[in-house]
Structure 1
Amino acid sequence: MTITLTAARTIIRTAMEHGAEAGMKPLSVVVLDAGGHVIAFERGDGASPGRFDIARGKAYAAVMMGMTGSALRHRAEAQGYFVQAMNGLFDGRFVPVPGGVLVRDGSGAVIGAVGVTGDTSENDAAAALAGIEAAGLTGEG
């Protein structure tokens, strides 16, 4: 199973709506496939232009390591040298914080990741999870 463009658009739209309804700052949302390639991205009105790289970095770290952004943050706190090494291996595209959410299929296999940025990392993750759920997929944040 893969994340379709239609599902990616649903994830993005719902994550953005969730953020707006919750009074969050403008969000930016990216959806990656299991290989870390961009399926779709949107930057909310008023979001800074650097948000694409942050959102992609959150999702990329999650999908490349098969770990949630929350788990990666804990790993960074416990083993900063390891996360620095991973960031070097992945050409600086590794942002180990919540807001990088894994997407799993019905059998539990990782089929991609969603990265959200713009508000607190925890709120970013909540928006990503809302979007993933709306698309009928399973998120792990």
Structure 2
Amino acid sequence: MNRISLEAARVIVRETLNHAEKAKMKPLSVAVVDAGGHLIAFERSDGAPAGRFDLARGKAYGSVMLGIGGTAQRDRAEAQAYFIAAANVAYGGKLVPVPGGFIVRNAEGDVVGGVGVSGDTSENDLAAGEAGIKAAGLVPEG
């Protein structure tokens, strides 16, 4: 598979939210984008603030556009704030360079899309997103 199918995106969303519910996390929002940063699927748990859409999508979009997950983006921002600021301008302010954004790879290592999870702590966002991506048979890189 060289792309995230709609069915795989639905699995990612469902299993990310299931993981969060079982772990008693705060309500999450989950966005799945293709390798071009275009939204495939989005869902938010009951009780998740509506504004989390932009955060989840920004985490996924930034991961795909920069080719690095949200944790690496945060680390890059700490080391080279000017780079992330310039990239955010170049991408129309759509980047959210914090943990919870994932590059998604297929078994061959090709980038097939991105996932963004927002709503709880960065560590919990990461754990939930990783569970969802793996449930779809794909490889998370956060």
Task: Give the equivalent residue in structure 2 for 1:119.
Answer: 120
Spell out the pairing of 1:45-60 with structure 2 (5 A cutoff): 45-60=46-61
Matches within 5 A, 1:29-108: 29-108=30-109
Cα offsets for 1:58-94 (capped at 9, x unmatched):
0111000110111100000111111111111111100
State, as a whole percentage, how many aligned pairs show the same letter.
62
Once the two structures are TM-superposed, the CA of residue 109 in structure 1 deviates from its matched residue by 1.0
- What is the distance in 1 between the residues matched to 2:123 and 2:71? 9
Question: What is the TM-score with the length of structure 1 in the denominator?
Answer: 0.98
Aligned AA for 1:76? A
Where structure 2 has 5 or more consecutive residues not aligned to the other structure, the ranges are: none
- Runs of 4+ aligned residues of structure 1 deviating over 3 Å after TM superposition are none
Unaligned 5+ residue runs, structure 1? none
2: CA distance between counterparts of 1:44 and 1:22? Answer: 14
Q: Deviations over 1:79-124 (max 9, x none)?
A: 1111111111111100001100111011111110100000011211
TM-score w.r.t. structure 2 length?
0.97
CA shift at 1:125, angstroms? 1.2
Pairwise CA RMSD: 0.6
Residues in 1 aligned to 2:64 and 2:127: alpha-carbon distance in whole angstroms: 17
1:36 deviates by 0.1
CA deviations 1:31-55 (Å, max 9, x no partner) are: 0000000000001110111011000
- State the one-letter code of the partner of 2:123: E
